[in-house]
Each structure stands twice: as structure tokens, then as C-alpha cells.
Amino acid sequence: MLSYNDCSSVLLATAVVHVFDTSGEPQSVRAILDSASQGCFITEYLRSRLNLPPEPINHTLYGIVGNPTTLSEVVKITLQSRFTSYRKQVQCAVLDKISDPLPQRDINIVDWNMEPYKPLADETFNTPSDVNLLIGANIFFDLLYAEKGDLGPTRPVLQNTKLGWIISGNFGPSTTNRLLTVGGVLKHSFGKVGGHTSSSLALEDINQTKLTDQNLHGRVATIDRAIGGRNVPAASKPSGCFLTPHQLLGISPQPTAYPPY
């Protein structure tokens, strides 16, 4: 998904979970929940802190502009909810960094009625903090309960999970700079090559269009001017100030054939 967020900030879902070190002791870890990622990831900092032995892989990760990143390690972790009996062994690829601290700034929640939604998966969801684990779609949907919460207009929504209540979505008018959010589909497969685990992952945009940084920034600047009201007809701007990927990038939709899993 490609979206241009001009009129509100977006809160991403985070949770604090227990991950066990080599001594079997639980350590509190802050994770981001990403239903668009088909893999799970851990930072090298956390792998080292847990003293978990890595396994070698031959792994290439492709970003949205087509720049490859070589990864060489995976680890197996045991993840445990702080509030339920949920426990899962997960294989994670090792990255130097998953994300900047989230959220990007402190969020004032003094007038948000959070009382009905306890326990929270991340009690400090509104305060910037490091993220050292990414929970992908391979286990994300196993975590969900049916209950949802609504804080009202221009507020994020809540979802009950086995990790506690997570909170995500738009909140209030933004006074920060406009942001481009670029997402995609993370594809991966693991196999054995020369006695080692071989993995191939690719993060692709919807149209598999490779963009240079200069190209992307130029198009964002064009959209920025257009959203200001000078170039884009009202009919082409959907409610919520989101543009389709093809409107944003100025490209024609093409069917994409993804390999079966």
C-alpha cells in the first residue's frame, strides 16, 4: 500500500511481550505488529541481549526502491504474552534496525477514554520508544480476538488480542511535516543451500515499480503541491486524504503475478 497522509498522524500498533533468553528467563521486549509482513524480524541488539545463537542464511531483502540488503542470520525465539497463555516459537531474520523510535513524537491522550480497554498490550504506546521485534502476518492473525474499541472521530481504534489491547490508526490534526507511508508485500521462502539455510525475501510495491530516491522525492513534491489545491481535481482525492498508489506515483496500473505459496 502507498498512502499520502496530509491531514492526520498515524499510530502504529505496538505491544510489549516476553521473549526468553538462553537461560530461560523472560525479557520484556517492545514489538511492532505488521500484518503486511510475511516474516518476523529481530534486531541484532536484542539477539545479543538474549544471547541467542544465530543460524547462517543467504538472504536478500529488497526495499521499495529496489536496493538489496544482504542478511546473514536468523534466530528462533520463544514469544510469550504477558496476559494470556499464548506462547509461540518463531523464526526471525536478524536486522541491524527495524524502525525509528515509535511513535515519532509524544501523543497527548489525557482526554482519551482508555479505561474500558485493559490490559493494554503497550502501556506506553503514546511515548516514543525503541522497537526491537517485528511480528508479521505469519502469527499476527492468530493473536486477534473479536472485540474492537472506538475512541471517537479523529481517534485511533483498538483491537483486543492475546497480547492485550493494541491501538492503531489516525489521530487528530497533524502539526508535523507531511509524511509518505510506503508499504508492500513481504515475500519469503527458506530452503537449504550448501548445508546452510537459504532465504529469499522481497518487499515489492503494488506495481513492482523500481524508483530511485530522486524520482520518488520528485513525485512526492508534485503530489504535495497538487494536494494543496492547485492541480488535483476534487474527484481524484478520496476522502481521508489518501491517494491510490497509481495516483501517487503517476503510473498506469498493471496486473501483478505473484508466485504461489
Whether 95 is covered by a domain: the verdict is yes
Q: What is the mean pLDDT of residues 51-55?
A: 97
Give the DSSP H/E element, type plus range, for residue 46: helix 44-50
Is 246 inside a domain boundary? no
At 184 the pLDDT is: 37
- Reply yes or no on whether the pLDDT at 59 is more than 90: no
Averaged pLDDT of the chain: 74
Count of domains observed in the chain? 1
More confident residue, 150 or 63: 150
C-alpha 60/C-alpha 39 separation (Å) is 13
Residues ≥6 apart with Cβ < 8 Å to 43: 94, 95, 96, 97, 98, 132, 133
Residue 45 lies in a domain: yes
5-50 pLDDT, tens digit per residue, is: 433 489 999 999 999 999 999 999 999 999 988 789 999 999 999 9
Q: Is residue 188 part of a domain?
A: yes
Residue 25 lies in a domain: yes
Whole-number pLDDT of residue 67: 77
Burial class (CB in 10 A: 0-12, 13-18, 19+), 50: buried
Whichever domain contains 172, its CATH number is: 2.40.70.10
**Three cell numbers at 16?**
510489549
Range of the domain at 50: 10-204
Q: Which pLDDT value is given to residue 61?
A: 76
Confidence of residue 122 (pLDDT cuts 50, 70, 90): very high
226 within a domain of the structure (yes/no): no
Contact 158, 149 (CB under 8 A): yes
Q: Looking at the domain assignment, is residue 165 inside a domain?
A: yes
Which segment of 18-32, 48-62, 76-90, 246-260 scores lowest on mean pLDDT?
246-260
**Do the beta carbons of residue 61 and residue 203 sit within 8 Å?**
yes
Please name which of 38, 71, 68 lies closest in space to residue 57, comparing C-alpha atoms: 71
In a domain, 37, yes or no: yes
pLDDT confidence of 64, banded at 50, 70, 90? low
The yes-or-no verdict on residue 159 having pLDDT over 70 is yes
Mean pLDDT for the stretch of residues 233-242: 41
Note the pLDDT of residue 70.
83
Q: Is the pLDDT of residue 1 over 60?
A: no
